[in-house]
């Protein structure tokens, strides 16, 4: 299900009757998801007027957007792709600074060390942690609430100890983010790759 409510059903080659029965069986879940989407519309910002940080819209004239203004002054603003590239660059740099600080903070608190941190825009995940201690954060994280960002940071750091999603893993995350179960659910309502 996409954030606009579009639903795609992928099945092996089966009968229409099977598909209809499957949709009827899943109807309560589908309706629940559609209601959640309706009640939590994505924040949309006007390019060159606003910037989305930590789940809030800031004016392009705000201190938070000063680097973005610098980037936009150097480009041809008649091309939407160029403007979007500036925003991506801005979010990546903002994410590098903020997420590195949060990772250092929690790594110290959790008595863990990672090898390196990488940043990139990802379509299907908020972060990852390799067995070699490389943590990769999605630069889109910078657009969501700070509580959710901290959850993702701790989640990835916890993978340095447990490379799975076992009970021990979740217990470790909960030691540092007590409301982690609720945050997992909240995080699911933010779409990636947009």
Give pLDDT tens digits for 62-118. Answer: 999 999 988 888 888 788 888 889 999 999 999 999 999 999 999 999 999 999 999
Residue extent(s) of CATH 3.30.2010.10 domains in the chain:
50-187
Query: Per residue in 11-56, pLDDT tens?
Result: 778 888 888 888 888 888 888 877 777 776 665 555 668 889 998 8
Q: Which of the two residues, 169 and 1, has the higher pLDDT score?
A: 169
Average pLDDT estimate for 146-169: 96
Residues contacting residue 173 through CB under 8 Å, at least 6 positions apart: 151, 154, 155, 158, 180
CATH class of segment(s) 50-187:
alpha beta
CB crowding 58-87: b at 16 or more within 10 Å, else e: bebeeeebeebeebbeeeeeeeeeebeebb
Long-range CB contacts for residues 158-161, cutoff 8 Å, separation at least 24 = 158/110, 159/129, 160/112, 160/113, 160/114, 160/129, 160/133, 161/112
Whole-model pTM above 0.85?
no
């Amino acid at each position: 299900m996409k954030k606009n409510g579009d639903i795609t059903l992928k099945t092996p080659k089966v009968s229409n009757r099977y598909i209809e029965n499957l949709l009827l069986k899943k109807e309560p879940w589908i309706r629940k998801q559609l209601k959640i989407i309706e009640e939590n519309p994505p924040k949309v910002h006007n390019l060159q007027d606003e910037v989305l940080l930590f789940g809030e819209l800031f004016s392009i004239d705000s201190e938070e957007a000063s680097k973005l203004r610098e980037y936009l002054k150097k480009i041809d603003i008649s091309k939407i792709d160029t403007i979007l590239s500036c925003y991506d660059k801005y979010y990546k740099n903002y994410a590098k600074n903020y997420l590195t600080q949060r990772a250092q903070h929690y790594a110290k608190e959790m008595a863990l060390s990672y090898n390196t941190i990488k940043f990139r825009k990802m379509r299907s995940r908020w972060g990852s942690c390799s067995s070699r201690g490389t943590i990769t954060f999605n630069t889109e994280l910078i657009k969501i609430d700070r509580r959710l960002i901290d959850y993702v940071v701790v989640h990835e750091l916890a993978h340095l100890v447990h490379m799975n999603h076992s009970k021990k893993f979740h217990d470790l995350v909960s030691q540092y983010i007590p409301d982690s179960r609720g945050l997992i659910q909240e995080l699911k309502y933010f779409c990636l790759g947009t």
